[in-house]
Amino acid sequence: MDISCKTAELFASYRSDVQAELKKIINRSPLPVRNILRYHMGWQDESGYYCQRKCGKFIRSTLCFLSCQAVGGDATQISPIAAALELVHNFSLIHDDIQDGSEKRHGRPTVWRLWGQSQAINAGDLMFALAYLALVKLKENSIRDDEIIHSVRLLSEACQELCEGQNLDIEYEDRLDITVEGYLNMIRKKTAALIAASTSLGAYLGEGDDKVPYFHQFGEALGTAYQIRDDILGIWGTKESTGKSVGDDIRQRKKTLPVVYALRNSNSEDKVRLEKFYSQRSIQGEDISTVAGILVGSGARDYAQNLAEQYYRQALERLEASGVESVRQTPLKEVAYFLVERDC
C-alpha cells in the first residue's frame, strides 16, 4: 500500500470519530441556526434533508490525535479537543467566505450565499462558542481541571493569531508592496497557528509536557508548508483534483505567495503588467493564462514549491528533535508528506 492510500485511511478513521463528536455537540439543539451548521458540515442540504458530503480533510483533528499517540497518550480521551479544533477551523471558514466574497465551498453555495451575511456571521459565532463548550467535555474523560484550563489558553492564543492573520490578509488585498516575509508572517498566523495548536494540544493532553515545544514548532512549520502548497494548487491545480476552476486564485486576485514573489522578482515589463492585472476588480478569460505564464516566468512556482519543501524538512527536524520513539513518529511523517505533496 502506498503512502497516499495509508494516509487516506488514517484521515478516514479519525474523521469518523470526530464527526461523531461534532454531531453530539451540534445536534444538541433543534433550533434553526443548527441547520446552517449541519449544512456547512455537509450533513444536510439547504432544504434540511439528510445528505452525506465530504467537507474537508479534518487535518487539525487528525494531527491532534496522532500527536497524542506519538507521546504515548490515549487518543480516545481527547475527542472533545479534536472536535473543538474543527469547530474553530469551520467558524473561520464561514467568516472567511464572507470576507472573501466566496460563493462556493466544496462545490456547494457558501453559507452566506444561502442565508445572507448576517446569519452567516451568527452561525460562525455559534461554531466558535461550541468549540469552547466542547473543551468542557474533556472533564468527562478524566482530564484534570488544570489541563482543561491550559488547553483553553492554548486554543485561545491560536484563535487570537488566526484573527490577526485574517486582519493582515484583508489589509493585503489592496496592496501591491507585500514582501515575502510579510506574507509568511500572515500565513503563520492565519493558517499555521491553529495547526501548531493541534499538534501541541495533542502532545500536551497525551502527557508529553516536555515535548510540547517541539510539537508546536513541528505544527507551525508544517502549517506554513501546507498553506504554500495550497497557494500553488490555487493557481496550477486541476479542477479534477481540487474541485476548483483552474486559476481560481488568479481570477479572485488573491495575493498568494507566487504572486507576492513575482511582483518583486519579475522583469520590469512583467511587473507592470502584473500590477495592472492586480489593480483590476477581477481577472478573466485569457488574462488568467497570461498571469499564470508571468508567474512561471518569474520563477514563482519553483520558488514556492522549494520553500514548501524547506518548511516540510524543518517540520521533520523538529519532530525528530522531540526524542519521540521513531516508530511513533511515522504516522505524523506520512501525514506531513501528504500535506506538502498533495494535489487536492
Average pLDDT, the chain: 94
Task: Map residue 163 onto helix, strand or coil.
Answer: helix
**pLDDT at residue 3 above 60?**
no
Query: What is each CA distance from 294 to 212, 218, 280, 283, 329, in whole angstroms?
Result: 42, 33, 17, 14, 40
Model pLDDT for residues 76-96, shown as the tens digit of each residue: 999 999 999 999 999 999 999
pLDDT confidence of residue 28: 94
Return the half-sphere exposure (C-beta side, CA atoms, 13 A cut-off) of residue 149.
3
If pLDDT is split at 50, 70 and 90, which confidence band does 229 have?
very high
Interacting residues of 95 by C-beta distance below 8 A, sequence separation 6+: 120, 121, 124, 166
Predicted confidence (pLDDT) at residue 271 exceeds the cutoff of 80: yes
CATH of the domain at 95: 1.10.600.10
Is the pLDDT score of 53 beyond 80?
Answer: yes
What is the number of domains present in the chain? 1
Mean pLDDT of all residues in 198-221: 97
Residue 6 confidence (pLDDT): 73
The per-residue pLDDT for 1 is 44
pLDDT tens by residue, 109-119: 999 999 999 99
Asked if residue 66 lies in contact with residue 331, where contact means CB atoms within 8 angstroms, the answer is yes
Cβ-Cβ contacts under 8 Å for 144 (sequence gap 6 or more): none
Q: What is the pTM of this model?
A: 0.95
**Residues spanned by the domain of 206:** 3-341
pLDDT grade, residue 246 (50/70/90)? low
SS3 content of the chain, % helix, strand, coil (to 5): 75, 0, 20
201 vs 344: which has the higher pLDDT: 201
